[in-house]
Amino acid sequence: MARRKKKRTHVKVDESANPNAPKIPKSFVIRSGEVGKTVTALVQDMRKVMEPNTAERKNNRLKDFLSVAGQFGVTHFLIFTRTEYGTNLRIARSPRGPTLCFKVENYSLTRDVLASQLHPKSPGAEYHTSPLLVLNNFGGDEKQTKLLTTMFQNMFPPINVKTMQLSEARRVVLFSYNIETKQIDFRHYSIIVKPVGISKSIKKIITGDSMPDLHNLNDISEFVLKEGQVSESEASDVEESIVTLAEDFVGRNNKKSDQRAIRLIELGPRLSLKLVKIQSGLCDGEVLFHEFIYKTPEEIRKMEREREQRKQLAALRRKQQEENVAKKKAEKEVKQLATGGRQQKREDTRASKQQNDDNSDGDEIEKVPPEHYDDDEISDEDEDDLDDELSDVEYDFKQSDYNMDNLFDEAIGNDVSSVSYSNESENVDEQISSSKQKRKHATSIGKPKFVLKNKKLRK
């Protein structure tokens, strides 16, 4: 059986279909440094808020995210950090800033918000579409307030009323600014609609997924009239919260042209933020605004002069680098032209040699070392030298044999002269036999042995 493909919630947005369409903002929600388990859970909750156009990874640095931000079209960074003074949030615009630095006064995780509700709403398909943005009390004339408004508006996709479908309005993100305390409250809600003008029991029948339990009742009227009075939740439906559906909405019996009351159910997390400073770059650069540090006009002018000097110095260095690169490139080209002829000649020689090797029959010529040359290859001069060498060897052999015999005679003479004659003939015979044995042993030891390795001499 073929698997059914979801078409309503799994349709991919083709950004290249309309090149004039506004680009969808995308974000990275990351943490920097050691932040602990609670801040890590807060990062995960904020990633859910920014879905579906967001991503988060665990073991990467900021420079790694910056290197791939352009390829994936990422426009904003939400960076959570934690210090000994508390938790901080930086919202940066990619790739050149600015960066808004907030101090997180307090926060509540999504699980804490849901635990405080009597009937918490389980998350579903709400996160398949981007949330709607609501800004409250951001109408001041201060520069930082205008920058805050622009930054928050650009974090979420713009709304086109003519083309937007009503079923895409599933969530709301609220930023509320308190002018007195200069604190920003962040809230995240889910949008649901309910019928109006009917009792709670009828709502259960209309909007419920299953029929209520009626086995203890004699008639359905008992169930309908059981709660004849309207509860406080139904009584709170004021005219401002009642709308007429322009299209079919998500849920049971939410058809076009029906009147429904809008409900906001909080999903979490909750954040209370306070703006600390604004930087011109992405997590660096000039400080455009600071909540606690004030500078005099003279200090500001001095900083501007120093910044201008740094810009001029950077431009000068960049110009010098370009000149050095051009100079090295020209020298390299001249060197290539000078050595190009020799290199080409070597390549031609190598190619011709390779071609000759390829055209040969493939028989290898064995190089015979000099000691294996035949006798016919020896010249006459070499034969005369070999004859002289042979005569010298024979002479040395005879001379050495003569000298050895003289030594033997002397040794024997000494042995014989030292023999004492006596009347006992047996002693004399023993002495003579021992002398002969000594001579024989000396002859076997002292006579040199010659090994002739040359072919000519062996011959």
- Distance (Å, whole) CA 185 – CA 138: 12
- The more confident residue out of 154 and 241 is 154
Q: Give the mean model confidence (pLDDT) for residues 63-88.
A: 89
Q: What is the tens place of the pLDDT at every residue in 126-159?
A: 888 899 999 999 987 888 999 999 999 999 998 8
Tokens of 135: 């800004």
Distances (CA, A) of 319 to 307, 308, 309, 411: 18, 17, 15, 101
- Distance (Å, whole) CA 37 – CA 52: 24
Q: Give the mean model confidence (pLDDT) for residues 165-183.
A: 91
CA dihedral 357, 360, 363, 365 (to 10 degrees): -60
DSSP state of 58: S
Q: What is the CA radius of gyration of the chain?
A: 52
Q: Right CATH number for 27-195+262-294 from 3.40.50.300, 2.60.40.420, 3.30.1360.120, 3.40.50.10480?
A: 3.40.50.10480
DSSP state of 375: G
First to last CA, the chain: 97
pLDDT for 364 equals 46
In one letter, which amino acid is 137?
N
Q: pLDDT grade, residue 253 (50/70/90)?
A: confident
* Kind of pairing between the strands at 54-55 and 99-108: unpaired
Q: Give the mean model confidence (pLDDT) for residues 86-114.
A: 93
Tokens of 11: 């349709």
Q: Contact, 25 vs 154, CB < 8 A?
A: yes
pLDDT > 60? residue 14: no
Other Cβ atoms closer than 10 A to 160: 9
Lowest mean pLDDT among 27-36, 63-72, 337-346: 337-346
- The more confident residue out of 281 and 219 is 281
pLDDT for 63 equals 80
Q: Contact, 79 vs 62, CB < 8 A?
A: yes
pLDDT for 198 equals 66
What DSSP letter does each residue of 319-348 carry, written as one string? Answer: HHHHHHHHHHHHHHHHHHHHHHHHHHHHHH
In degrees, rounded to 5, the angle at the alpha carbon of residue 23 between the alpha carbons of residues 247 and 58 is 105
- The more confident residue out of 381 and 181 is 181
* Kind of pairing between the strands at 259-266 and 242-244: antiparallel
pLDDT > 60? residue 15: no
Q: What is the tens place of the pLDDT at every residue in 277-319?
A: 999 888 888 888 888 888 888 888 888 888 889 889 999 999 9
